[in-house]
């Protein structure tokens, strides 16, 4: 049997050219693997046929949207994961899932090499290769765009010379990656960080400045997982999809940031994540009601580190696995309902309800029925401030 290479296939120019190039350079048979994580665009059957037309001996397509929502988006939600306190890990979440499908295909088809189309300047080369190494340490990796200095011009020339069924003229001015959890846009005029984004950058969200009626939604959570919208039961996939639609229609979830890439450079990114931002906002508020103070404080430290690990391609690392166990334990009581108003680019919580709530009305109220013994506060304040008072006295005596 010939050597075989499994290629992460998107259906675009670079990975379509890579099929023939890998076959020519290595004499290997190429199995194209396309994974649907909710990126939209062409249907899987069209992508499968294109891969075969470009020379793949076999094309595997996988509808992984439900798997992505349940096993990747939900953990990110329960972690309130926001890299640099802004980015909800749009692309970073999909890469370990794609790596998983690539390694499974490699084993199934007897391939000893996995190939991807990432450049040497981005984060995804790390996420794919570290993920593949963790899942299948014996597997080799081929990265033709990075390792052989491909340019778009070389790819177009190859496609034209070999008659590949690729539209090489319809070139977006942006580099775009999108999935169920959100959409990432970069390059083009956005690389000048003084330039403001224009409306044609966006696809998942409407202009938040447009006049419209507000949209009120009630999100029900069970142990940190969204299980109903407005009282109607939903799966995680349905919850994210519907909130992408409703929050996106209100212009919620637009982000413009300069982020620190793993490879050591800064990059300007435009993100749209309407469903993710709405869900994380609601989930955080439910945690504020149901998590004990010290646990909530420590979880904020953990979830920041969790987001950094996932961004850095360490989804399968021992530390991330241990943090998963901690976060899962924190969610035991994160059940209840959050009422939220979506309007003109904002997602504002207006109501909270939980049988697991730690909010005690009688302790919190300043009106009749107050059960808080204020007489205990004087001594508490004195003891709480005693170390600072002693230190301050020492400074005065010097």
Has 95 been annotated as catalytic?
Answer: yes
* Residue 26 labeled ligand binder: no
**Distance between CA 155 and CA 82 in Å, rounded?**
35
Active site residue 94: no
Question: What value, to the nearest 5°, has the Cα angle with vertex 123 and ends 18 and 263?
Answer: 120
Is 15 annotated as ligand-binding? yes
- Structure tokens of 9? 């296939």
Are 268 and 260 in contact, with CB atoms under 8 Å apart? no
- Residue 359 assigned as binding residue: no
Q: Which residues of 23-36 are buried (b: 16+ CB within 10 A; e: fewer)?
A: beebebbbbbbbbb
187 labelled ligand-binding: no
Catalytic residue among 112, 146, 175, 357: 175
Q: Is 175 known as a binding-site position?
A: yes
DSSP label at residue 39: -
Where are the extended beta strands (E) located within the chain? 4-8, 29-36, 58-63, 113-115, 140-142, 175-179, 182-186, 215-222, 225-229, 232-233, 254-260, 266-272, 336-343, 346-353
Q: Is 3 a catalytic residue?
A: no
Residues with Cβ within 8 Å of 194's Cβ and at least 6 positions away in sequence, in order, are none
Binding residue per annotation — 62? Answer: no
Residues 6+ apart with CB under 8 A from 279: 77, 219, 226, 239, 240, 243
Q: Is 71 annotated as a binding residue?
A: no
To the question of whether residue 271 is assigned a binding role by annotation, the answer is yes
Q: State the CB neighbour count (10 A cutoff) for residue 298.
A: 13
Determine if residue 11 is labeled as part of a ligand binding site.
yes
Catalytic residue among 48, 65, 95, 246: 95
Q: At what angle do helices 293-311 and 318-330 cross, to 10 degrees?
A: 150
Q: Is 244 annotated as a binding residue?
A: no
Q: Is 117 annotated as a binding residue?
A: yes
Annotated ligand binding at 255? The verdict is no
- Residue 70 gets which letter from DSSP? I
Distances (CA, A) of 242 to 173, 261, 346: 29, 31, 17
388 is in an annotated binding site: no
Per annotation, catalytic residue among 36, 94, 124, 335: 124
Give Cα 47 to chain centroid, integer Å. Answer: 24
How far, in Å, CA of 46 to CA of 390, rounded? 74
Is 337 annotated in the active site?
Answer: no
For residue 352, count other CB atoms closer than 10 A to its CB: 17
Residue 124 annotated as binding site = yes
85 is in an annotated binding site: no
Would the annotation count 354 as a binding residue?
no
- Tell whether 10 is in a known binding site: yes
Distances, alpha carbon 272 to alpha carbons 55, 201, 249, in Å: 35, 10, 12
For residue 259, say whether it is annotated as part of any ligand binding site: yes
Residues that constitute the known binding site for ATP: 8-16, 117
Residues that constitute the known binding site for L-aspartate: 119, 123-124
Residues that constitute the known binding site: 8-16, 87, 117, 119, 123-124, 127, 175, 259, 271
Residues that constitute the known binding site for L-citrulline: 87, 123, 127, 175, 259, 271
Q: Which residues are catalytic?
A: 14, 95, 124, 175
């Amino acid at each position: 049997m010939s050597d075989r290479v499994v290629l992460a296939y998107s259906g675009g120019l670079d990975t379509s050219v890579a099929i023939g190039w890998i076959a020519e350079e290595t004499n290997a048979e190429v199995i194209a693997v396309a994974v649907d994580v909710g990126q939209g665009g062409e249907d899987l059957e069209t992508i499968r046929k294109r891969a075969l037309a470009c020379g793949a001996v076999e094309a595997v397509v996988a509808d992984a949207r439900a798997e992505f929502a349940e096993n990747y988006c939900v953990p990110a939600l329960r972690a309130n994961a926001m890299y640099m306190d802004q980015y909800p890990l749009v692309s970073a979440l999909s890469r370990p899932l794609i790596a998983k499908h690539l390694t499974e295909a490699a084993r199934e088809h007897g391939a000893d090499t996995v190939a991807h189309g990432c450049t040497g300047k981005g984060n995804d080369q790390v996420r794919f290769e570290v993920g593949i190494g963790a899942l299948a340490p014996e597997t080799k990796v081929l990265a033709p765009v990075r390792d052989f200095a491909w340019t778009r011009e070389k790819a177009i020339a190859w496609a034209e010379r070999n008659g590949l069924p690729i539209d090489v003229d319809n070139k977006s001015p942006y580099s775009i990656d999108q999935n169920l959890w959100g959409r990432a846009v970069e390059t083009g005029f956005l690389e000048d960080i003084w330039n403001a984004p224009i409306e044609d950058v966006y696809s998942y969200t409407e202009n938040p400045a447009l006049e419209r009626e507000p949209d009120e939604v009630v999100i029900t959570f069970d142990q940190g997982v969204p299980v109903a919208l407005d009282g109607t039961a939903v799966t995680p996939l349905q919850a994210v999809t519907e909130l992408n639609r409703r929050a996106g229609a209100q212009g919620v979830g637009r982000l413009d940031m300069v982020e620190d890439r793993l490879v050591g450079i800064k990059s300007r990114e435009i993100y749209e994540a309407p469903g993710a931002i709405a869900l994380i906002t609601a989930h955080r508020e439910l945690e504020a009601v149901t998590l004990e103070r010290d646990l909530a404080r420590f979880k904020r430290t953990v979830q920041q580190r969790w987001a950094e690990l996932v961004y850095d391609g360490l989804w399968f690392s021992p530390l991330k696995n241990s943090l998963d166990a901690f976060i899962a334990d924190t969610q035991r009581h994160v059940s209840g309902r959050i009422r939220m108003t979506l309007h003109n680019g904002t997602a504002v919580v207006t109501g909270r309800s939980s049988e697991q709530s730690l909010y005690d009305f009688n302790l919190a109220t300043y009106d009749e029925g107050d059960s808080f013994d204020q007489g205990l506060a004087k001594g508490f304040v004195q003891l709480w401030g005693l170390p600072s008072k002693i230190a301050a006295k020492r400074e005065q005596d010097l």
